[in-house]
Structure 1
Amino acid sequence: MTVSLDRRQFLRFGAGLAGMTTAGSFGLQLAAAGSAAGQSASDYKAIVCVFLFGGNDANNMVLATDTDSWGRYFSARNQGADPIALMPVGTPATPIGAINPVTGRASALGKPEHWGGVLPIAPKTTQAIPAGTTASNRTFALHPLMAPCKTLFDQGRLAVMANVGTLIQPVTKAQYNARSVSLPANLYSHNDQQSTWQAGAAEGARIGWGGQMGDLLMSMNGTNTIFTAITAGGTAVYLSGRNVVQYPLSTNNSPAIIVNGTASTSLYGSTAAPAALKEIISNTASTSDFANDFGSVVNRSVGAASVVNEVFGRSVVTSVPSPANYTNPATNAVETNSLALQLRTVARMIAAGPSFGLKRQVFMVSLGGFDSHDTQNRDQSNNLAKIAHAFAYFDQTLSNIGGVDMRNSVTTFTASDFSRTFSTNGDGTDHAWGGHHLIMGGAVKGGDMYGQFPTVGMDVNGFSNPGMVGASFIPTTSVDQYAATMGAWFGVGNSDLNTIFPNLRNFSTANLGFV
């Protein structure tokens, strides 16, 4: 697969290549870097953002299962034409067509009755009992189609971050209703909340926190700073820095961005045309400064692409395995798991890292389809199963990169626009606010839950949930705290973290301690 770019996109990607040397000397640097191939993984670190576009319903991904919480959960979600309430822990899968004893409905492919009960997890640290919850001990579980994530949690390489979301400062229900404190702009808006998660400001922000961390640590990558910020899942503001510009890779076996036409043996029927096109678009002797700048960008980009493709042909990279086949649990059809393929590209870039002398990298991959206003049972179940499949693949792959276990050097985390309403609209959910997320890695203090899991339940029948407005949980942990914790592990100093996250000082704890 070849990635096509228009001129505006190409300039955007290439602007950050200014610090890179010419293709010829770049190739010489790689040739001289062979001795670095055996370097220890201890001086390398990577952060991988898995962005779930559309707003993942975290309420069906991580669940409180104590009797009090489960009762309120089931009451709120076991309603409508296609109820989205999951089955309790221990409920066996109901054969298709048979009546489920919990719901009284016939089981069908792609329905909660057919999946069986949610998968229990036992956090190492006892969760505090929040106001409005009567349970003496809270218990938890994952979605029934996320068994690989349960395994990772039980093995101590996956943790849950509870009820995190965009915040400027801590907010109570009374303060929200009175609008007496500052709130993030345009809550519940996809574009604005995606941007706020990635860059701390609404749509239009140009600098993301992943890119800013890359700015601070890119010097550790020597002259090859072009490979500091890598996207395998489409461009996003998260990876844009003041100096760092994201470098896109595709998910096929020739991953570098290629300028269409210049890499072919012929163009428009002419064998001479590819070289002529390359000369035209890389010309730096024009009377136009813009044309000269564009030519310089093309020169560097084309050179970098050919070098990346050469390195990706080496055995240490080609030995990175492809993910196993993926079966959609709602249809039983074998599908492509695009998230797993993106993580394969990330793993291959990590395998190539020693050849480039890289020490710090920020990656982004993504999965769409989480805007589950309708058909949530079918769509979200498939997406959550893809996450679990991809995480298990990535963890296993990182355990042996060229004979080195890289899991302690790579921290992977989920992010999303927002969570979904705790109530159902009949066969789905609507935009909400705070939600739960997953963090994976060998350095992660896994098998535990961080932050405060909220009181569960809607404001009905005289019950008032102190942590909910409308059908949305008010976050009790900010994105700033979540991100800064990973930034500290990555090597960003406290003063720089406060610059990247200016709202961080509004919260009592800057480092949540999960990594």
Structure 2
Amino acid sequence: MVTRRDFLKNLTVLSVAAPSVLSSPLSFASAGGANKALVCVMLDGGNDSANMVVPTSVSHYQTYHDLRPDIALAHDALLPIPASGVCRDNQPVSLGLHPKMTKLAEVFGNGEGTVIVNSGILREPLTKEEAETQGHRLPPFLFSHNSQKNEWAKGAVGHNLTTGWAGRLMDVLHHEQTGENLAPLYSHAGDAQLLRAQTLNQNIIRGENIAKLNANANTLDALDNYFHSLSGDAFDQTLTSVGKDSMHVANTLINVIKSIPDEEDTPLYPDTNLGTQFRITSRLIRKSGELNQGTQIFFLRLAGFDTHADQNRTLDDKYTELSDAMAAFNSHLKELGLHDNVITITLSDFGRRIPANGTGTDHGWGGHQLIMGGPIDGSNFIGTWPDYTVDGLIRLNAVAYFRELRLIRFISVWQDGWAHRIAPSASPSLTTRCLNHSLW
């Protein structure tokens, strides 16, 4: 007998949606025929990106070192990358990656990645003086893990939304598409607000248990028999609809994932949690045609970045795992001929304060993110290098991250009127800037 506990334990791919959505036929083949994917990697806990990406230009490095001497990285240990730009005073700034990110530094050295500097959550453009004197214009609950992660995911600071910008993006793409009942929204980290949509269901994947349900041939038959035995009232009908759809999604995705032999790609990826997430992601991208999905969005997670103490040792391990997994994914995409169709980007709750708190750092505001892929121009970083000041915050001098970086535009299927539906905080001028600058 299969119990509810067994079912929930063994079902490794779940479909999360309202019951009314589950019967909607969907297809996501892109109009141009080229499959594209966005892979978002959440560095959970508030990444101290000031030690992930460090200025190597002499004056900027000296400022960085003077403000955090106890945890500052040695200048000669940094891994230089081609990405360069300017600070607010229009002085040139060069960058280096953390010493443990050797494999990713090679990727960036080939011009296949760059850094998004001075990014974060912002309700509206503010000067430093306005931020200090007009607190009501700041993002709500600044420095709070949960609230800031939610604001990142919503992409609309100050709006009471339960959906995420990636989910709303797929809602927009869906309006003219029909086909299989399987949405191209995939989370390796449980129910992700980033992927929540109004009309679509995200697929939750637990890679470490991916074979369990498939290995028990009797499980799906038992569940199917159970659903057929229900009495037929409104509750039973809803339960049957949700259950059967979840079984269909689970079975479809597990079969797709397991259709690629482990020996074909397992040796290409590090044997880490993040390595497994990237490996399964690569399989779903490879099989996007079979899934009738032309555009896919993935949410991956690497935890452990809330470094209030023992930061340098912790980040040595975290950045090694991040670097090795991202570099392996990049190399594999090249082998598959998919390198030009995929963009990978990091996210985090917030940055951290520049001065150290003993052996760690406290919660901050702005920070830096990595972006990688064939379409990326690695010769320049994106944004303006911020001032590192004694008050300890990387203050934002631009607009909200999701708007400034034009993430939505990368899909290359933008049309008039879509911007406000996906990013309701965006002003017309910001929308125009999004449309005129594509990462793709």
TM-score by length of 2: 0.87
What is the identity, as a one-letter code, of the residue corresponding to 2:80?
P
The 2-side partners of 1:203 and 1:431 are apart by 23
Residue 87 of structure 1 corresponds to which residue in structure 2?
74
User: Which deviates more, 225-234 or 289-298?
Assistant: 225-234
Residue 423 of structure 1 corresponds to which residue in structure 2?
355
Residue 186 of structure 1 corresponds to which residue in structure 2?
141
Aligned-residue sequence identity (percent) comes to 26
Identify which of 450, 453, 465 aligns with 2:382.
Answer: 450
Residue 149 of structure 1 corresponds to which residue in structure 2?
104
Does the aligned pair in 2 maintain the 1:251–1:344 contact within 8 Å?
no
Provide the aligned C-alpha RMSD in A. 3.2
Residue 140 of structure 1 corresponds to which residue in structure 2?
95
Does the aligned pair in 1 maintain the 2:16–2:204 contact within 8 Å?
no
Unaligned segments of structure 2, at least 5 residues: 1-5
Residue 17 of structure 1 corresponds to which residue in structure 2?
22
Deviations 1:451-489 (A, max 9, x none): 00112342xxxxxxxxxxx31111234222255334343
Does the aligned pair in 2 maintain the 1:149–1:391 contact within 8 Å?
yes
What is the identity, as a one-letter code, of the residue corresponding to 1:286?
G
Matched, 1:55 2:46: yes
Residue 206 of structure 2 corresponds to which residue in structure 1?
250
Identify which of 177, 189, 200 aligns with 2:132.
Answer: 177
Residue 3 of structure 2 corresponds to which residue in structure 1?
none
Change (3 A) 1:283 1:87: farther
Deviation at 1:222, TM superposition (A): 3.7
The 2-side partners of 1:290 and 1:203 are apart by 33
Change (3 A) 1:214 1:473: same
Deviation at 1:172, TM superposition (A): 1.1
Structure 2 counterparts to residues 378-393 of structure 1, below 5 A = 378-393=313-328
Deviation at 1:443, TM superposition (A): 1.5
Residue 210 of structure 1 corresponds to which residue in structure 2?
166
Residue 34 of structure 2 corresponds to which residue in structure 1?
43
The 2-side partners of 1:400 and 1:188 are apart by 41
Residue 476 of structure 1 corresponds to which residue in structure 2?
397
Change (3 A) 1:208 1:284: farther
Residue 352 of structure 1 corresponds to which residue in structure 2?
287
What is the identity, as a one-letter code, of the residue corresponding to 2:204?
P
Deviation at 1:384, TM superposition (A): 1.2
What is the identity, as a one-letter code, of the residue corresponding to 1:448?
N
Residue 236 of structure 2 corresponds to which residue in structure 1?
291
Deviations 1:362-384 (A, max 9, x none): 11111110000111011112111
Matched, 1:303 2:248: yes
Deviation at 1:13, TM superposition (A): 4.6
The 2-side partners of 1:18 and 1:484 are apart by 32
Deviation at 1:501, TM superposition (A): 1.1
Deviation at 1:393, TM superposition (A): 0.8
Change (3 A) 1:291 1:384: same
Deviations 1:132-172 (A, max 9, x none): x9xx5322111111122211112121111111111121111
Identify which of 114, 123, 128 aligns with 2:86.
Answer: 128
Does the aligned pair in 1 maintain the 2:409–2:438 contact within 8 Å?
no
The 2-side partners of 1:153 and 1:42 are apart by 28
Matched, 1:322 2:266: yes
Residue 230 of structure 1 corresponds to which residue in structure 2?
186
| Secondary structure, counterpart of 1:454 in structure 2 | coil
The 2-side partners of 1:504 and 1:221 are apart by 26
The 2-side partners of 1:161 and 1:230 are apart by 24
Identify which of 34, 59, 70 aligns with 2:61.
Answer: 70
Deviation at 1:277, TM superposition (A): 4.5
Identify which of 280, 285, 298 aligns with 2:226.
Answer: 280
Deviation at 1:10, TM superposition (A): 6.6
Structure 2 counterparts to residues 496-515 of structure 1, below 5 A = 496-505=418-427, 508=430, 509-510=433-434, 512-515=437-440
Does the aligned pair in 1 maintain the 2:311–2:361 contact within 8 Å?
yes
| Secondary structure, counterpart of 2:290 in structure 1 | helix
Deviation at 1:281, TM superposition (A): 3.9
What is the identity, as a one-letter code, of the residue corresponding to 1:302?
M
| Secondary structure, counterpart of 1:429 in structure 2 | coil
Deviations 1:285-315 (A, max 9, x none): 522x122111111112212322333333434
Deviations 1:14-73 (A, max 9, x none): 74432259xxxxxxx9xxxxxx9xx99952111111111101001001111222211121
The 2-side partners of 1:507 and 1:381 are apart by 41
Identify which of 91, 95, 118 aligns with 2:78.
Answer: 118
Does the aligned pair in 2 maintain the 1:65–1:141 contact within 8 Å?
yes
Deviation at 1:507, TM superposition (A): 6.2
The 2-side partners of 1:77 and 1:282 are apart by 64
Aligned length: 427
| Secondary structure, counterpart of 1:504 in structure 2 | coil
Change (3 A) 1:426 1:398: same
Does the aligned pair in 2 maintain the 1:446–1:514 contact within 8 Å?
no
Please identify the structure whose Cα radius of gyration is greater: 1
Deviation at 1:434, TM superposition (A): 0.6
The 2-side partners of 1:507 and 1:473 are apart by 25
| Secondary structure, counterpart of 1:122 in structure 2 | strand
Identify which of 347, 355, 367 aligns with 2:302.
Answer: 367
Change (3 A) 1:318 1:493: farther
Does the aligned pair in 2 maintain the 1:222–1:358 contact within 8 Å?
no
TM-score by length of 1: 0.75
